[in-house]
Structure 1
Amino acid sequence: MNSKKTSKPKNSQSNLMINDYKVVPIIVDQEDHSTIHYIYMKKHISKINEEHLPEARTLYIINLPVDTNLKALKSFFKGIGRVSNVYFSGLAGIDVFQIENQRLKSAKLREEIANSQKTDSNDSKKVSKANSKASKTENKEMDIDPVAFGNYLVSGSSAHVVFLEEAELNNVMDTDFKPKLWYGTRNSNEDPEEYKGLQKYLYEYRGLRPPVDMLKKELDDYMAKFEAKQYEKERLFKAQKNVPDEDGFITVTYSKNKADSNVMPVSANAKDSHIASKLAEKEKKTNFSNFYRWQQRENKKDQITTLRKKFEQDKKKIENLKSGRKFKPY
């Protein structure tokens, strides 16, 4: 695990204070508990008015382990303070998957907090279970669930942790933290968010490349639903045909299908002439015979030659008419 480790302070007391920062030791190696990582926390002081970071309820933490997430911080402060929201800084390798995953986690956390505020402790468990069941039934249509990609922080990153009440923040600052195992170091074969190493990367790789049969089933189900919706739209459209409105008027509808169309069909000759004129216009637009200057000069020469020929033909025609007249005035 790429974790930034600092040298242990000279004073061996836990929770030493350094420049208003509370020094908290955590264990980052599940096998070797002598590997200690130190995080530093203090009350957030804002120079500007930040509505999402109220000073009375916000804790600033620095030098977090790279695998820190919402679940890890909630687990760390469990029994001390209820986490309302967490704002991380320095997410490494941010992509669309991680952003969407972070958004879903934040929404889920806010929903859990809202449910806990509305009901008692016993009732809140029932509500959370009911909500989880409802969400499962809503997502039951999706056979291919989105993969929960892990959000890794840059080494030494910080975060602002917002608690529900001011007393909980004070309780955190007054608590004497003993070294305990960090949530992210626990291995679990049930929760994909807790996968580590090769297991994690295999899970993400396979999540981006699901099996062909699963994809085929998902696409078939989607197309079946789409076709059912299209059929329902056509059925409603046909049902509305020739139905008079409140004033007794019938709206004329047009269908591309000739069999279902109530519009008078266009005659073949008119249709052909219309198509021919359209093609002629298109050919005229694409004709570049008069594009260059030399083409224009050649065209003018041809026009003059044609006019001269026509003039000579008309002149001969007039002479023939004169010679063929029976009445000669002189």
Structure 2
Amino acid sequence: MSKGKVPHEVKDYVALPVILQSTASGKDVKHYIYIKASEPDVPDQDSPRSLFLVNIPVTTTDAQLRHLFTTQLSAGHVEHVHFAAQDGALSTSSSALIATTKPTVTEPLTTLGKRKRPAQTTPAEIETKLSSYKLPSTYPSTFHVAGSTAIAVFLDRTSRDQSLRACRKAAKSSKSLIWSAGLAADKFPSLGPGRYEAQSKFTFPPRADLLALANDFMTTYSDLEAARARESAKRRAEPDEDGFITVTRGSKGVVKSDEAEAIKAKAKEKQDKTGLQNFYRWQMREKRREEQGALLRQFDEEKRRVTEMRQRRGGVVPER
């Protein structure tokens, strides 16, 4: 092996050389992508049909990788691509251009009698749908950090193996592949002045798109409030531990949960204080005797007041 020559394989990796064409300087650069079969520590159902790529170009898109394996290498078909984020987590990229689309939620149908109607969505499902709404990006493409990795998932294991053999054959040949050669210009991000022109357009998205996105978000938020109200009404209709249902008044049947909880806590506290009172018979007799004594004292007091009023007025007080 001559000095400075890159080996065809490094351990389990195949060193695939590609030529990056530069329109600014006019000089082409040879770049090496290291490829091997994906063998993660925790395999999943896609691992047997995936390839692990290291040191991909910073402008790589899934369209370019599909073009590389399907057209240039004439090997397998790529189903989807996972790109490694800067924090090390893998994220799926479906296009070079970042577009915001409304999520599609298919609601199951439930049979009620002879007619079908959509099942009610839970608040958790609506919150998940709300989190999927995002404003359009102001950048026309996504750049990767130097030395980034990616996972290309093929249709099946046979397609993955054919692609790996094609990469090994291309690495041993003296001819390097030209990156994105023959690919349409709209399938890969533009660089230089073209990138900044595209960014200026992305900075000011159409008002109609923003209005539609805002309307969809507010409609989903209204659905979330309605679902929460249904859940609250359902909880209020359920009996408590003692088997009682608290009847309260409120605007359109809506009762503040804090107020209901405060009333319930106050009643429980009062019940705890009087729970052991009048437990024995002698306590009950003493309480009745005290109540009778209090009534007699009150009667004598009222009788004395009536007598004093009659004396002041000069009336005759009847003898007992």
Q: Which has the higher helix share?
A: 1
* TM-score range normalised by the length of the shorter chain: 0.3 to 0.5
> TM-score, normalising length from structure 1?
0.42
